Amino acid sequence: MTLTTARSGEPTVPDSATGPGRGEARGAAVGAALAGPLVSTQWLCDHLGSDGLLVVDASVVAVSGGDGRTEYVSGIGRHGEGHIPGAVFADLLEGFSDPAAPFAFTRPGAEAFAAAAAALGVDADTTVVVYDGAVGQWAARLWWLFRSFGHDRVAVLDGGVTKWREEGRPLDSGTVAPRPTDRFLAAELPGFWSDRGDVEAVLAGDRSGTLVCGTPPKDFTARHIPGSVSAPAVRLIDRGTNAFLPAAGLRDLFADVLASPDPIVAYCGGGIAAAADALALALLGRDDVTVYDGSLNEWASDPAAPLASA
């Protein structure tokens, strides 16, 4: 089992583990400028092109399959139509997931993650700003992955490319060829992920925990793990700006969750919206959140697993 109650005092990956060389000198200033999990469009505009800064488009596109079910395809096409200048594209379907796993978007192992990050041009000293073309859930997933593998110099662009575009900021077409590095090694840290056994232990009362479901309201009504609190990722943002709600709005949304001191296990359909919930909770100061990586994809695959509705 992988659930822990907090990440205070968690180990960090030393520079020697993430690659020798220039240490913290390159990109230190822009990295130090990160004030939290989010950066604003103005912040990115001010820092765009800075040494040591890498902007990453993590977009995934939802499409209707032949059977009417939602399927997910790479966002590389939309990236080519218009992306933030200098941004490289990250493939969450393949490179930053385990394509051999039985469930979509399963996190990769440390070695595979390191290879994917290095292929983008990330090393130990790179400050990564991630965005997407949706409501931030894909960017939050990559943000969570980077942090879980020991890279803290990462933030999500608040409002994503939607807000950037609406503000009339520049966009480039085509793709940017990454400049791969061979200086990134990853080590999975404790306190970021939960598994099926952890959730079963919470349900059985063998360990404390609050289950938070990030699926849309209609999906939550249809099925969720018993005892869960609904916190739809689509409600984390201001519909007018596509940016995350201010702290007061997030506190209202998570009121039932914040009322308990128990550690939080966030889940959804496949561990994506759950990462957005985790980011929002980090904005509220909660560092005791884990993401159930398999989420309902794994949970519901067992006919004996309990599910609730309404």
Distance CA 299, CA 209 (A): 17
> Cβ distance 131 to 56 under 8 Å?
yes
Mapped onto helix, strand or coil, the DSSP state of residue 63 is: strand
Hey, what are 166's tokens? 């609406």
Distance CA 40, CA 88 (A): 19
Mean pLDDT of 170-196: 96
Domains and CATH numbers, the chain: 15-166 (3.40.250.10), 193-299 (3.40.250.10)
Record the pTM: 0.91
Provide the pairing of β-strand 210-213 with 264-267: parallel
| H or E element that contains 220 | helix 217-222
**Residue given tokens 């073309």 in the structure block:** 133
Hey, what are 19's tokens? 């690659």
| Residue 20: pLDDT band with limits 50, 70, 90 | very low
Whether the per-residue pLDDT at 34 is higher than 90: the answer is no
Q: Could you tell me which residues are beta bridge partners of residue 129?
A: 55, 155
pLDDT tens per residue across span 213-267: 999 999 999 999 999 999 999 999 999 999 999 999 999 999 999 999 999 999 9
Whether the per-residue pLDDT at 1 is higher than 90: the answer is no
Q: What's the pLDDT at 18? A: 38
What value does the mean pLDDT of the chain take?
A: 91
| Residue 69: pLDDT band with limits 50, 70, 90 | confident
Mean pLDDT of 150-162: 97
pLDDT tens per residue across span 264-296: 999 999 999 999 999 999 999 999 999 999 999
Mean pLDDT of 60-81: 89
Query: First-to-last CA distance in the chain?
Result: 29
- pLDDT above 90 covers a percentage of the chain that reads 84
Q: How many residues does the chain have?
A: 310
Higher-confidence residue of 138 and 18: namely 138
Mean pLDDT of 16-36: 57
Question: Phi and psi for 269 in degrees, rounded to 5?
Answer: -80, -45
Residues belonging to the active site = 268
Distance CA 158, CA 169 (A): 14
